[in-house]
Structure 1
């Protein structure tokens, strides 16, 4: 089944915004974003295997397996100007996908937007061992993610815990390659001023991964600051730098 979910199909889009969810997240996280943007912008979300309509598919536990599959689908899309936006784990998946897209010669991916994550892992997870179920739940709860109450329901816990555990394994073991080529695309970084894992200074580090323009924006809020600020984040993602 396809990785790409169109929340608002556009016959001839002027711009495409591709959104990559956080660990444990699904494509529905960005479902309402089209209403914040001009009708000429096509909003697409990435749906990772093992969740939502892909619940019967095996989960993918490594970046080296996940990112190339997403890249292949993006390369098959009609080449219109495209922005990639990823939140938390999604920021790393979007970055790795863009590396592969540029290596393949695609030049219509014009901007990478990274949210709630720096280019290097937080010190708290450097060299971390595999987390227990209790540690996974504690980490998610500490970040204040949407629907944290699911852990109080045994049935929902049994449904969602394998997904979140898989995604934490993927992102805990991921490291950006030191010899990775510089991106050509612009990079915009977003973070919340009270994120317990990522500081505004951390996201400034993304400036070093590109030869293109860089901008950073700090919002009021924690790790999921973008929930109340969805409209502003969406508009900044597709705006010209400095707008």
Structure 2
């Protein structure tokens, strides 16, 4: 009986490792992985925008296109681990089903694995665009279902608070849009024109599915749900999401709130080299000034 239990424990451990690598395939590439028995001082949980992948945060690129990430540099210097979530339908998960997904369903897959990583390690969360809604939904589930503490800080950019009413949402639901109409909708989200060339056949189904995350989201979060501090970012050239929408994140927490302006940034400013560096530098500055002192203390 004891032998069978040991075998079962080993099998469960292997399954946990497989799931972890599936969800966070860029951890090793990022150069921030902390191997047991050591523990990281901090974990940084990241969610990218629709149509993007985890490597927005874990890959600095090569040659002239390389962007030295201030966030990765910080993590390496402070023994912090960066966990950027990979959703299905892209990268190493490109063959997994990804049709009209729902945020709550996605979070139910991620939460059990992350709960094990965050019980005894402080963390912050970073979300861009719809990644903001994934981030806060994750924290709510971690807290209510698994008893995990809230993050020490939220960093949320270019998306409204989830309490926004349907009549105030500036986007059109993509389900009934023709292909041309959907392309026009993508342009309103500042999707680059190169996407509508030969690679559109790859991006079209992915972005249709990703857009379902916010199209179908049924918010179950209330104002003042959280107590953590929030730093929100808004790009001044974002044609879809207004500054006032981003400011509504202040209503979601009893903690401190700050709004950072990204001058000249459109909705997808993390895809622009200088804007991305500026954004990540500002995130790091807040972590160093407000998060790390509480960990050291």
State if a TM-score over 0.5 links the two structures: yes
Q: What interval of TM-score do these two structures reach, taking the shorter chain for normalisation?
A: 0.7 to 0.9
Please give the secondary structure, in 2, of the residue aligned with 1:125: coil
Residue 212 of structure 1 is aligned with which of 239, 245, 255? Answer: 255
Please give the secondary structure, in 2, of the residue aligned with 1:99: helix
Could you tell me whether the CA contact under 8 Å between 1:8 and 1:44 is conserved in 2? no
Query: Aligned-pair distance for 1:215?
Result: 1.3
Corresponding position of 2:153? 111
Corresponding position of 1:158? 201
Could you tell me whether the CA contact under 8 Å between 1:136 and 1:164 is conserved in 2? no
Q: Does 1:8 align with 2:35?
A: no
Corresponding position of 2:13? none
Structure number with bigger Rg: 2
Corresponding position of 1:47? 86
* Aligned equivalents of 2:23, 2:91: Cα separation in 1: 11
Could you tell me whether the CA contact under 8 Å between 1:191 and 1:225 is conserved in 2? no
Could you tell me whether the CA contact under 8 Å between 1:37 and 1:235 is conserved in 2? no
Could you tell me whether the CA contact under 8 Å between 1:136 and 1:168 is conserved in 2? no
Please give the secondary structure, in 1, of the residue aligned with 2:206: helix
Corresponding position of 1:169? 212
RMSD between superposed Cα atoms in Å = 2.5
Residue 200 of structure 1 is aligned with which of 243, 248, 260? Answer: 243
| Cα offsets for 1:68-113 (capped at 9, x unmatched) | 2122221121532211111111111111111111213211622221
Taking a change above 3 Å as real, the CA distance of residues 126 and 135 of structure 1, as seen in their structure-2 partners, is closer
Q: Does 1:67 align with 2:87?
A: no
Corresponding position of 1:28? 55
Please give the secondary structure, in 2, of the residue aligned with 1:94: helix
Taking a change above 3 Å as real, the CA distance of residues 93 and 157 of structure 1, as seen in their structure-2 partners, is same
Unaligned runs of 5+ in 1: none
* Aligned equivalents of 2:201, 2:114: Cα separation in 1: 32
Query: Aligned-pair distance for 1:129?
Result: 5.6
Corresponding position of 1:140? 186
| Aligned length, in residue pairs | 240
Unaligned runs of 5+ in 2: 1-18, 61-68, 293-297
Q: Does 1:37 align with 2:70?
A: no
Taking a change above 3 Å as real, the CA distance of residues 180 and 73 of structure 1, as seen in their structure-2 partners, is farther
Please give the secondary structure, in 2, of the residue aligned with 1:85: strand
Query: TM-score, normalising length from structure 2?
Result: 0.73
